[in-house]
Structure 1
C-alpha cells in the first residue's frame, strides 16, 4: 500500500520521488559468439516461449519476433488474441542493443518512459507507462517497488532474463493492487533441454569491466532433471566524477520432471551492489539554461564524495509447480520470496542559494531500509468446450505479505560552488523517522478465455482484501488501513484470416492509499478505468508483429488537500491519460530487421486541490497541469542489416534513433526541450563460436536534461558510452 498521500503531490521528497532517474548507456561495443546456441524454444515448464523462430538467418544475431506472452493472462497466450496492448523485449534484443539495465532494455518500447531520470536511474530505477508508475514483477510475482517503499526497489541484472513483458494499462484482475500504468513482468532464464554454454567479457567507457556466464542443459540423460546457472560481475565508474557501480549477480535454477504430467522449477537470484551508482539533482538554472558562469558540467558531483554511499543487496527464491490431473484440469502453485536491503547516505543539492549564481544549497540525508515480500499463487486451469465455444478457465487464490522498515535522517550540509567544488566534511544527521510497515493482501480471481470460430473473448474478475499498518515510534504515530475492492476486465478480438485482429477492451484497477479524511475516516483506494481499442497484425508464417492502440485511462479517488479542513485530505483528485501507441517488430528482408515505436500521450491532472511551485517561486494550482516528465510524442526506430554470404558474410551493422518531445515540471512553467539521440553498431559473426559487435548509444554525445520535477530537481541524461563485449558460445 502506498505511503504517498498523493501521486501527483507537489512536495519534493528525496526518497519517494518518481523523479529519480536512470543512467543511459550511450555507446556499447558487443562482442558475442558465433552461432547462437539455438535459443531453446522450450521453457522449463515444457511450454513454448514467447518468440517466433527466425528461420534462414545463419548467424547468432537474429532477434526472434514475439508471438505469445504469459504475463498478460497468466497462461501462454498468443499476442494476437490478447485484447490489450502487450510489448515483449526478448534476450536477443537486449543482447543486440547491449542493454545494461531493464530501463535501457525498454527504450524502444511504445508507451514506456523508462529513463526519466537520466544518469540517476541506477540509484532508484523507476519506470513509467501511460503516465503512471510501472510496477515490476518477477516471474509473475510482486517485487519490492516504489509504490510502497523508498529505495528498497529490486533491480536485477537483465542478463539473467529471458524476456520482459509489458502489459499496458490496468492489471489488477490478475495481480491485485497495482498502479494503472501496467505491469512489467520480468521472466527469468529457465533450465532447458537444449545445451546452453556462453561466457562473455566487457570493457568500455567509464573504465567499465564486466564478465559473465550462462550455462544450462540436462543433468540426467533422460532429461528429467535440467539446470541453468547464470552469473555476472561488474566494476565501473560513472558519468559523474567519484561515484562507482559494482555488482555481483548469480542465478541458479533447476527443473525436475518426474513424469510427463508434473513439473517443478526452482528459481533463485542473488545480487550484491556495493556501489549502486550516482543519484542526485541539478537546478534548472545551470542545466536547462545558463547560470552566470554558464552551465553545470554533466560530470560534476553534486553530492559529497566523503559522505555519499549507496549499497544494495537483493535476493529472491521461489518455485513453480504444475501437475496435470487429466485432459481438463491442471493444478499450479507459484511461490516467491524477495528481499531487498538498501542503504543510502547522500548529500542532495537543493537549488541555488539566495542571491548566488554559482553556489547551491544542500542537505545531508540517509535512508536505511529493507523489504521482504512473500507471495503464493494457487491456480486451477481448466481447458474444456461448451458446444462450439472453447474455454481456458483460470481460477486462483493468491496471498502476499510485505514487511518493510525504513529509517531516515535529514540534516544540514554546507553549500557547494558547482563551478569550483570543495566538498568539505559533513556530519551524519540524526534519525528523524523510523517506519515499520506491514502489508498483506488476499485475492480471489477467475478469468475465462473463450474461442468461438474467429472470435476471442476475455472476461475476468477479482475480489481483494488488503490490510496495512504503519508504525513510526520516532513520530509516535500508528496508521492502520483496510481496503476491499472488486476489479474486472473484458475484451473482444476478431481474427481475420489475413492476420489482422481488431480488438476492444475495458479494464479496472485499484491501488490502496494511506490518508486520514476529515471526520476520522480513512482513505479509500484509488480506482482506474481504461477503455482501449486497437488492431494487431501478424500474417500467418510471417516474422513480424504490429500493434496499434488507442486508450483512455482515468484514475479517481486520488488524495489531495482538503481545502476546507487544513491538515486533512480529500479524495477529489483525478488524473487522466489518453493516447496512441504504435509498435512494430519485423524482419523486412532476409538481411534487414526493424524495431520501431511511436507514442502520443496526453496525461494531465484533471482535479486537485494541491499546488506546485513555479520557476519564480510562486504557487500555481496543480489541476489542469500535464504530468511532469511525460513527453507528448516519443518516436524510436532501430534497424539491423546483416550479410549472409559473399566477402562480408557474418558482418552486420545497426542504427537507431530515439526522439522525445518536450516535457514539463509539475508546475508546467519549466519546459524541458525535446531531444534526439542516435545509436549505432556493428557486429561480426565468425561462424565458429565468436560473435563480435560494436554498439553506440547517444553516438554524438548529446548533453541534455532528461526531466525536471521542479526548479531544483532536474537530472542530466547520459552522454556517449562505448562498451566492448566478447561472447564465446559452444
Structure 2
C-alpha cells in the first residue's frame, strides 16, 4: 500500500513498523551562483567574516540578504515573508554537529524532536509541519516522504542555512507547508584559505577535518574549495556508535566578468548512522514499578541493529549576464542516498509485566535518486519611477525511489536488566518501486516604488508518479496539476523599521483511495503573515517579528460512510508568533535570540488516536504531537580584544522547550531548560582553541512522545574540545 505516492511516501507497512511519521504531523535559494567574492575565512578570528556572492550576505551572526526566499539576492528587510539565517560564524561558535543542532536556536523550528534518537534522520519541523531540506536550492529527500533515505550532510561543509518559514511552492513546487531549510555549501574562493582541525570529547569522540581554498591560476579565473572531515564516536546509548567520512570538492571557472560556472560535489559515508529507537512512557516519562529506564539503555539489539548510509551529490551553478538588465542562471543537481537499516524496536510492555518490553525486528533497505534542473531568467527593468526585478523560471524534478521492508517478531527484553537473545532477520513484506516527475513554470515580479516593495509570484506544476509493489501485488499511478501563488507588501521606514504583510500558498500530492475510485487531490495550504523587520542604522543587527495563520486542507482521513476508504475532510491549523534577533554589536559581542508561540491543532479529522490504556480518542481538536506551545532560546558570545587576555572568549546559551503532548493529547511531556557553554581562545597567530559543552548540566529529560510506547530521551551532555590551525 502506498502512503504518500507523489510526495515520495514510504510504504504503509514501513511507516507502521517504525512508527515514525504520525498522521497528525503529515496532516500537518535558490539557484545559488558563486561570485568572485565567495565566502572568505580570515586567518585568525573567531568570526567567519562576511559572506557574499551567490549565498547572500552576512557579517558575523547577522545576515542581511538571502536568495532562498525569492531566488534573487534580495535584502531580508525587503522580503515580505519570515526568513531565518544561521551563519557559519554561529555554527562554529556553537560547535554544531548536525543540521538539527545548527537550527536549535532558530525561531519557529523544532529541530530535535527525537532528542538523542535522531542521528540517522534529522526530523525538522517548522510551524508544526515538516521542514523540507534543500541543498543549494534543489530538493532533497525529506522525512515527510522517504523513510530513512534522508541526507544528513556534515554541517562543516556548509556556509549557512537559510530557513524560509511557511509555504514555498511558488518557487519550489510540491512541498510541505512548514517551509524550506536551504543548506548552502561552502564555495570556492580566490583568496587563500587553509584550515585543519581536530576534536575530541566524551563518548570517545575522535574527529578531524580540513577546509582548503584559493586560486588555481595566476589570473584567478579558476578557484577551488576542498572540505573534508571524519568522525568516530560512541553515543549516550550503550553499543550504539556514530561514524562518518565526508569530502566536498568544488571549483569555479570565471572566464570573464559576466560568466561563471561552479561545480559542487559532496560525498558522505556513514558506516554507523547512530541510534534510533523508542522507550515506553512508563519508566521514562511516567513512574514504573520496575524503576526508571536509563537513557543509556539500548532497547534494540547490538548484535542485530545496523544503520549504514551512503549519500552523494554532484551539480553545477551557471550564470551569464547578457547585459546589465538580463541574466540567465541554471542550477543542476543529482543526489543519491542509499540507506541500509535493520533494527529491533521496542513496542511497549508485555501484558502483565512491569519490566519486559515486547519487540519486533524490522529492516528497511532503500535508495533515492534525485535529479533536478532549475532554469531562471532574471530582468531588472524600470518603468518611470517604478523598478522591477522580474524572474521567469522552468524547473524539472525526476525521482527514482525503491524501498524494501521486512517486519517480524523478536524476543522480549527486560528493559531494566537487558539480556540480548538472537534475533532472526524477517522476510520482506513490501517492495516499492516509485517514479516521480514534476515540471514547474513560475514567474515573479519584485516591484520597487519609493519606499514600497511589492512582491507577486505565481506557478503552475504538473506532477506524475507511479508505484509498483510486486510483493503486495499493487500498482498505482497518479497525476496532478496545481497552481500556487503568493504576494507581499513591505514599507521601508528611514529608521530601519519595515512592516510587511504577505499571503502564500503551497500544495503537496498525496495518495489515498476514495470511494468511487477517484484519486486523492493534493493537500493545499494557505498562510497569512504580518510582521515587522528592523535593521537599525549603524548597528550590525537584524530583528524579525512575525504573526502567522497557516492552514492545510484536503488532508486524508477515514471515510465514515464508506469503511475502508478515505475522504479528504482533514484540516490542520497552525497559528503563532515568532520573534528572532541576531546581532554582532561590536567586535566583542555576538547575540542570537528567539521566542516562539505555536498553536498547531488538527481542526478536522475522522481518525482516532490511542491512549496509554488502548482507548481510542478522536484526533479532531487535538494539538499536534511533539509541538510545544512555547520555545525560547538565547545565545551570547563575548571575546576580549585588548589587554593580556585578548583573544579569550566565552559563550553561553539557554534553550527552553515548553511542554508538548502525544498524539492522543493524554500524555504530557514536561518542559526542559538546557544550558550550553563555550570557551575559546584565539592565539593571534594560527591557533584557535575551543571547548564547548551542550546540555552542560546533563539534564535528563524526555524529548517527545508520539504515543505510550514511543517516547525518546533528549540528548545528554556533549563535550567537544577542538583545536584549529589556520594559515
TMscore range, shorter length: over 0.9
1:282 aligns to 2:291 (yes or no): no
Q: Which residue of 2 aligns with 1:36?
A: 45
Following superposition, the deviation at residue 593 of structure 1 comes to 1.9
Judging changes above 3 Å, is the alpha-carbon distance between structure 1 residues 47 and 148 closer, same or farther for their aligned structure 2 residues?
closer
Give the Cα–Cα distance (whole angstroms) in 1 for the partners of residues 631 and 449 of structure 2.
Answer: 38
Q: Which residue of 2 aligns with 1:222?
A: 219
Q: Which residue of 2 aligns with 1:58?
A: none
Q: Which residue of 2 aligns with 1:49?
A: 56
User: Secondary structure of the residue that 2:628 maps to in structure 1?
Assistant: coil
1:166 aligns to 2:163 (yes or no): yes
Give the Cα–Cα distance (whole angstroms) in 2 for the partners of residues 370 and 250 of structure 1.
Answer: 20
Contact 2:21–2:144 (8 Å) recurs in 1: no
Q: Which residue of 2 aligns with 1:639?
A: 636
Contact 1:238–1:245 (8 Å) recurs in 2: yes
Give the Cα–Cα distance (whole angstroms) in 2 for the partners of residues 497 and 666 of structure 1.
Answer: 48
Give the Cα–Cα distance (whole angstroms) in 2 for the partners of residues 79 and 248 of structure 1.
Answer: 35
CA deviations on 1:642-668 (whole Å, 9 max, x unpaired) are 111112211111111000110000000
1:14 aligns to 2:18 (yes or no): yes
Contact 2:273–2:308 (8 Å) recurs in 1: yes
1:254 aligns to 2:258 (yes or no): no
Following superposition, the deviation at residue 91 of structure 1 comes to 1.0
CA deviations on 1:563-600 (whole Å, 9 max, x unpaired) are 11111100000000000000011134543221100000
Contact 2:45–2:682 (8 Å) recurs in 1: no
1:663 aligns to 2:660 (yes or no): yes
Q: Which residue of 1 aligns with 2:672?
A: 675
Give the Cα–Cα distance (whole angstroms) in 2 for the partners of residues 437 and 512 of structure 1.
Answer: 14
Task: Give the counterpart of 2:552 among 555, 567, 572.
Answer: 555
Judging changes above 3 Å, is the alpha-carbon distance between structure 1 residues 229 and 305 closer, same or farther for their aligned structure 2 residues?
same
Following superposition, the deviation at residue 707 of structure 1 comes to 0.2
Following superposition, the deviation at residue 633 of structure 1 comes to 0.3
Q: Which residue of 2 aligns with 1:75?
A: 72
Structure-to-structure mapping, 1:83-482, within 5 angstroms: 83-482=80-479
User: Secondary structure of the residue that 1:206 maps to in structure 2?
Assistant: helix
Give the Cα–Cα distance (whole angstroms) in 1 for the partners of residues 263 and 9 of structure 2.
Answer: 35
User: Secondary structure of the residue that 2:63 maps to in structure 1?
Assistant: coil
Give the Cα–Cα distance (whole angstroms) in 2 for the partners of residues 313 and 571 of structure 1.
Answer: 37
Contact 2:61–2:591 (8 Å) recurs in 1: no
Structure-to-structure mapping, 1:581-592, within 5 angstroms: 581-592=578-589
Structure-to-structure mapping, 1:678-697, within 5 angstroms: 678-697=675-694
Judging changes above 3 Å, is the alpha-carbon distance between structure 1 residues 244 and 71 closer, same or farther for their aligned structure 2 residues?
same
Task: Give the counterpart of 2:7 among 2, 22, 40.
Answer: 2
Q: Which residue of 1 aligns with 2:3?
A: none
CA deviations on 1:683-707 (whole Å, 9 max, x unpaired) are 1111011111211111110000000
Higher relative contact order, chain-length normalized (CA < 8 Å, sep 6+): 1
User: Secondary structure of the residue that 1:570 maps to in structure 2?
Assistant: strand
Judging changes above 3 Å, is the alpha-carbon distance between structure 1 residues 675 and 490 closer, same or farther for their aligned structure 2 residues?
same
Q: TM-score, normalised by structure 1?
A: 0.95
Judging changes above 3 Å, is the alpha-carbon distance between structure 1 residues 509 and 13 closer, same or farther for their aligned structure 2 residues?
farther
Give the Cα–Cα distance (whole angstroms) in 2 for the partners of residues 279 and 206 of structure 1.
Answer: 17
Give the Cα–Cα distance (whole angstroms) in 1 for the partners of residues 10 and 339 of structure 2.
Answer: 23
Q: Which residue of 2 aligns with 1:25?
A: none
Give the Cα–Cα distance (whole angstroms) in 2 for the partners of residues 246 and 419 of structure 1.
Answer: 28
Q: Figure out how many residues of one structure are paired with residues of the other and give that number.
A: 707
Following superposition, the deviation at residue 299 of structure 1 comes to 0.2
Contact 1:42–1:192 (8 Å) recurs in 2: no
User: Which ranges of structure 1 fall in alignment gaps of 5 or more residues?
Assistant: 22-31, 53-62
User: Which ranges of structure 2 fall in alignment gaps of 5 or more residues?
Assistant: 1-5, 26-40
Contact 1:581–1:597 (8 Å) recurs in 2: yes
Q: Which residue of 1 aligns with 2:36?
A: none
Give the Cα–Cα distance (whole angstroms) in 1 for the partners of residues 691 and 530 of structure 2.
Answer: 40
Following superposition, the deviation at residue 294 of structure 1 comes to 1.2
Give the Cα–Cα distance (whole angstroms) in 1 for the partners of residues 318 and 325 of structure 2.
Answer: 17
CA deviations on 1:41-63 (whole Å, 9 max, x unpaired) are 465xx5573203xxxxxxxxxx3
CA deviations on 1:625-645 (whole Å, 9 max, x unpaired) are 000000000000011111111
Give the Cα–Cα distance (whole angstroms) in 1 for the partners of residues 669 and 427 of structure 2.
Answer: 36
